[in-house]
């Protein structure tokens, strides 16, 4: 029987240390966050949207009196409004007091940075801050950059009244090169638990770090395959009036599983994205006992039999390809906010586009771990500099049922003044996209290629087995490059229509530049 841990231990054990929308819009938001100075990070805790997502610009309005939003999130404020909180290796923890006007599910949003830290640099990959709420160990914050990143974490169920956050530099789990961390624009929102948004927060899994001796220490999630983003989807249930909540996570990489060249070709990234937990919700917004399942080793779907913190299942990353176990023994805890959802018709990589900072983390881990070839060569399938790829999403379906696995879609790019067609699959048929719907992929191009160099983007039918099936291609939803800072540049191409690819006509042009 699952045991509920409403009285889950507060502070990390002593061994835990710590001393006491569109791509261009995402890029602008990421750059705006990166430009925040610590002087600007003096916002008080204030109201956020119902799901607890707050931008730095919104956080700057925190000096306004507390109020209730139409969405149900209550305002919270620090008294008095603090500057950015700094914690240092070997230094004391910092406490921040705040109050909530109502009872509900709480989300902390903050800007975090660690001067001198870079996810690309071995020994200085991150700084880790452990967060406690009213004496209860809540989450670790892995900070992979010296530039501010805006992130959100769930604090769990809070009653109306006064509360205290405790922020401690986690010296035991921070790489030796990290010496301090800055936490600014602190904002807490509280969502009533009887709302849809509250239900999403109340049932979100808590992830514990990976603890595989062959891959590092018990703190390996501070330097490799770290969880970055969680989101939710609401799926239909077989029971009338019920629904299924599914939670998914983006990790910075995967040390096992699909190889990196295939990830770039078939999925358009080298992060790892997996669903981790599903549970059924009844018509009253309550979790149906016994319906929770999780993605276990070897991608099995198993019934959850572990412990709960309230209604939140405790799961641990337990394989090299980031599958889950329902027994927990790693000291690192990740309480990521699942507030974001996946819009209909978008690939899962859309959550990377809207959290643009995940692209630099992805690329820097590849460089640090020696997973990229140098010099970059688009004629080989090996992953080169990830700034030399076109990142594109294309919608397609196989015209006959069951044919998707037998025929894939490849994206081709021809440059101005040349005849070479650069292919997303590098001429490896099994690296084509062979799933229906909108899918992300990448096309490796010569170093220095820009959008202005592209003459045309084509769709290519790619047989994987014997099949006469046709492919219907209906949209290009985005196409961009990464800038020198690894952040996505503005999407420059979109297209909608319909082209059918058959054995007799296996390719078609999807996009040409205006006047091209």
Q: Are strands 206-208 and 312-317 parallel, antiparallel or unpaired?
A: parallel
C-alpha 278/C-alpha 460 separation (Å) is: 36
pLDDT at 304: 99
Q: In 244-387, which residue ranges form alpha helices assigned H by DSSP? A: 260-267, 350-353, 358-368
Q: Scanning the structure block, which residue is given the tokens 């087995």? A: 465
Tens digit of pLDDT for each residue in 291-303? Answer: 999 999 999 999 9
pLDDT at 86: 98
For the chain of 516 residues, list the mean pLDDT of each consecutive stretch of 10. Answer: 34 34 45 35 34 33 32 44 84 96 97 98 99 98 98 98 98 98 96 96 99 96 99 97 98 94 98 99 97 98 98 98 97 99 96 98 98 95 98 91 76 98 98 96 98 98 90 98 98 97 97 88
231 CB neighbour count, 10 Å cutoff: 24
pLDDT at 50: 30
Report pLDDT for 41: 32
- β-bridge mates for residue 350, sequence order: none
Nearest to 449 by CA among 489, 407, 478, 476: 489
Give me the pLDDT at residue 343, please. Answer: 95
The alpha carbon torsion through 345, 348, 353, 354 (nearest 10 deg) reads 80
- 329's tokens: 């023994």
Cα(359)–Cα(385) distance, integer angstroms: 13
Dihedral of alpha carbons 383, 387, 390, 395, sign: positive
For residue 515, the model assigns a pLDDT of 79
User: 3-state DSSP call for residue 70?
Assistant: coil
Instruction: Report how far residue 452's alpha carbon sits from residue 439's, in angstroms, rounded to the nearest whole number.
Output: 24
What pLDDT shows up at residue 309? Answer: 97
- Counting every residue written for the chain, the total comes to 516
Specify the pairing of strand 421-423 against strand 507-511.
unpaired
CATH number of 387-511: 2.60.60.20
User: Residue 303 corresponds to which tokens in the numbers above?
Assistant: 């019934």
* 98 and 23 Cβ atoms separated by less than 8 Å: no
The pLDDT value given to residue 402 = 55
- Cβ atoms of residues 436 and 488 within 8 Å: no
Q: Which tens digits make up the pLDDT trace of 396-451? A: 998 765 555 689 999 999 999 999 999 999 999 999 999 999 999 999 999 999 99
Domain(s) labelled CATH 2.60.60.20 in the chain stretch across 387-511
């Amino acid at each position: 029987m699952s045991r509920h841990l409403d009285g889950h231990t507060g502070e990390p054990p002593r061994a835990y240390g710590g001393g006491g929308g569109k791509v261009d819009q995402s890029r602008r938001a990421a750059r705006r966050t990166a430009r925040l100075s610590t002087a600007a990070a003096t916002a008080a805790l204030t109201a956020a949207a119902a799901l607890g997502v707050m931008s730095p610009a919104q956080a700057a309005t925190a000096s306004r009196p507390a109020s209730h939003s139409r969405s149900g999130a209550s305002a919270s404020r620090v008294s008095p409004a603090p500057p950015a909180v700094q914690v240092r290796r070997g230094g004391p923890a910092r406490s921040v007091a705040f109050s909530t006007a109502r009872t509900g599910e709480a989300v902390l949003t903050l800007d975090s940075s660690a001067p001198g830290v870079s996810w690309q640099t071995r020994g200085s990959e991150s700084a880790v801050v452990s967060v406690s709420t009213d004496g209860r160990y809540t989450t670790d914050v892995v900070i992979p950059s010296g530039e501010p990143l805006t992130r959100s974490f769930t604090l769990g169920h809070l009653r109306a009244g006064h509360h205290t956050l405790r922020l401690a530099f986690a010296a035991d789990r921070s790489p030796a090169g990290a010496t301090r961390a800055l936490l600014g624009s602190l904002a807490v929102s509280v969502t009533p638990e009887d709302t849809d948004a509250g239900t999403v927060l109340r049932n979100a899994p808590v992830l514990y770090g990976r603890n595989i001796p062959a891959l590092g220490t018990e703190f390996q999630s501070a330097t490799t395959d770290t969880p970055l983003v969680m989101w939710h989807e609401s799926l239909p249930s077989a029971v009338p009036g019920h629904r299924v909540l599914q939670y998914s996570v983006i990790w910075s990489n995967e040390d096992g599983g699909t190889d990196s060249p295939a990830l770039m070709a078939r999925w358009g990234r080298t992060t790892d994205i997996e669903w981790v937990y599903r549970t059924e919700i009844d018509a009253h917004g309550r979790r149906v006992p016994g319906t929770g399942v999780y993605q276990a080793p070897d991608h099995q779907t198993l019934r959850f039999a572990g412990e709960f913190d309230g209604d939140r299942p405790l799961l641990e990353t337990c394989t090299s390809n980031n599958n889950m176990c329902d027994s927990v023994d790693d000291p690192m805890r990740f309480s990521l906010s699942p507030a974001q959802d996946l819009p209909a018709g978008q690939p899962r990589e859309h959550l990377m586009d809207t959290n643009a900072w995940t692209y630099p983390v992805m690329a820097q881990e590849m460089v640090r771990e020696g997973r990229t070839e140098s010099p970059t060569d688009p004629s080989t399938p090996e992953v080169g500099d990830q700034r030399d790829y076109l990142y594109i999403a294309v919608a397609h379906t196989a015209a006959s049922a069951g044919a998707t696995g037998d025929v894939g879609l490849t994206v081709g790019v021809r440059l101005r003044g040349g005849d070479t067609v650069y292919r997303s699959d590098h001429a490896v048929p099994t690296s084509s996209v062979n799933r229906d719907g909108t899918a992300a992929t990448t096309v490796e191009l010569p170093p220095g290629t820009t959008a202005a160099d592209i003459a045309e983007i084509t769709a290519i039918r790619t047989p994987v087995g014997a099949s006469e099936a046709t492919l219907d291609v209906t949209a290009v939803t985005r196409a961009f490059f990464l800038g020198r800072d690894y952040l996505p540049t503005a999407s420059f191409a979109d297209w909608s229509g319909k082209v059918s690819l058959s054995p007799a006509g296996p390719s078609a042009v999807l996009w040409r530049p205006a006047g091209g």
